[in-house]
Every structure is written in structure tokens, then in C-alpha cells.
Structure 1
């Protein structure tokens, strides 16, 4: 499930929650319910807005990272022979 950031102008708080893409969250009470946190002094029917956030990208930095992600990395060696550097020994 995707992670979304919501901002409540009533209390100037930003909360990160996870829910399905087809669910619409419009109030502070719904955000607190999804985040498992207390509503506090803010009214539960206070409006919230969803913020734009950058997607999380994972960039492999080692041969083991490629292997763990399910990829195969081939490196060209002498005379055009390719070696699988992500193969398990």
C-alpha cells in the first residue's frame, strides 16, 4: 500500500499514513485513525489536505544489492566473455 502525507491547517501538523489508493481521507479524525494516534485538541472533523511527496527510490550500490533485489549483473571480462557477478557461490 502507498504512503501518503496529510497536513492539517487547524493544528499545523503533518502526518504520514498508509492506505489504499482508492480511499479518500478528508478529516483529521480519519488521519488519526489510520495513523493510530490521538486526535488531541483538534476537532475530528477538521479538514486535511494530502501533500505531494517524492517517491522512495532504492538504488543498488553493490553486487549483493542487485542480487537481493532479484537482478542479474553481467560484467564484460577478457575477450568478450561476460561474468555474472551476482551469482551465488
Structure 2
């Protein structure tokens, strides 16, 4: 199940948001469910926000020895549709 982030529609107005939705909260929900429209605590409107994506930073491409030590199988193309294991 993916994790979705929600934030109050009016985070600057303490009358229209509680401490939870003002700071934002994460919620694990099935993909086929509709997004939340109200905070679970104060029942005021919330909106789903786009989360940051965590991607690894690779400074250089992996060498054959690095890939083998990481457990990958290295194949080299010999002919059309023919690969040889290194």
C-alpha cells in the first residue's frame, strides 16, 4: 500500500485546522480508495500533496566487478539475440 501525504487546505488559519493537519500527516491507503477530503481528527478540509521521491544518487556507472559483487549477472551481446555470461 502506498503512503500518501495530506495537509490542511488553510494551514495558516488555526480555526480551520488542527495541529495534525496544519503540520501535515502521512497515511497508508489502498490505491483504489479515493483521497481523503477531511482531516481524521478535526474534520476540516485537507488536500493530498505530492511527496518527494527518494532516489539513490549514483556518481558514476557501476563497473562490471561492482555489479558482480552486488549480485547482478553480467551479460555481453555477441550476436543478434545471443548473449554470453561474463
TM-score by length of 1: 0.49
Mark the structure with the bigger radius of gyration.
2
TM-score by length of 2: 0.50
- The structure richer in helix per residue is 1
